[in-house]
Amino acid sequence: MAKRYIDTELWNKEWFQELSVKEKCLFLFICQNCDCAGVWDTNFRQASFIIGEKVDKTDIDSINSKKQQFEYLANGKIFVTDFIAFQYFKTKENYLNENNNAHLGVIKSLIKNKIDYTRYLSPSSGAMDMVCNKDMEKCFKIYEAAAKKILPLNFERRSRAVLEELGEYLKETNYDFEYFKNLCQKADELGVIVNSKIDFRTMIRNHIGIMNGKYQKKDRIKRAIERARLKDGQT
């Protein structure tokens, strides 16, 4: 059975006092029936049965009119916007930690439901505080569309190290998404670098070499012949 923190000051807050009894029950029902990330798989029929009154989207809108508490997701689910901060930010480090097993389920749910999870990750002194999360997500989508033969995305969307490297790459290339698309296509055609299949991180680390044909097989053979000739003193 999942256990949740309860705000003991909730009943003293003006916005909550302005809610009807039905709306109060609906708010508490959603907060206690959402998943570990605050995502509720919308079921107004069940909520109505439990509460004892019919509830629907208009009640969500009414609660939001007092104070924004819920966000509608594209998949039809509802996201409790303050849920993560209240349930997990109990230390001086107010962000999700990818190395904390208790947070992994939260991050996976955010990714699954296409919520901008990076806003909950640790701030970085480097790339992350300078790069828009939407720009990063745009790169991931381009990669998925243009690079279908090489390794698919796995952990990259939630890896702090990868996000920081992507941030540095975007700044280095001046946010040239057309260049990035061409890079994905060339990497997809290349397939491997030094006998290892290319993944997202390898691609952005080696973007200059990939774009300049450094890893093309015919070029490698040509360079090997040239090195052999120089070693033998040939011209």
Looking at the structure of the chain, the number of domains it has is: 2
pTM beyond 0.75: the answer is no
Supply the range of the domain harboring residue 160. Answer: 133-221
- Average pLDDT in the 166-184 region? 91
pLDDT at 87: 86
Domain end among 121, 145, 173 = 121
Which stretch, 41-50, 107-116, 155-164, 207-216, has highest mean pLDDT?
41-50
148-159 tens-digit pLDDT: 999 998 878 777
Question: Does residue 235 sit within a domain?
Answer: no
Nearest to 119 by CA among 102, 106, 133: 133
**Which of 9-13, 45-49, 93-97 reaches the highest mean pLDDT?**
45-49
Same domain, 100 and 1: yes
pLDDT in the model for residue 186: 93
> Do 23 and 117 belong together in one domain?
yes
Cα separation, 192 vs 203, whole angstroms: 10
Kindly state whether residues 105 and 189 are assigned to the same domain.
no
Per residue in 183-224, pLDDT (tens digit) is 999 999 999 887 889 999 999 999 999 998 888 765 554 555
Position 147 in a domain = yes
Q: Indicate if 116 and 198 belong to the same structural domain.
A: no
Report the 10 Å Cβ neighbour count for 160. 15
Instruction: Give the tokens for residue 197.
Output: 């299949």
- 117 shares its domain with 4: yes
Among 57, 88, 121, give the residue marking a domain's end: 121
Q: Could you tell me if 115 and 141 lie in one domain?
A: no
pLDDT for 126 equals 41
Number of Cβ within 10 Å of residue 4's Cβ equals 11
pLDDT of residue 193: 85
The per-residue pLDDT of the chain, averaged, comes to: 84
Same domain, 101 and 137: no
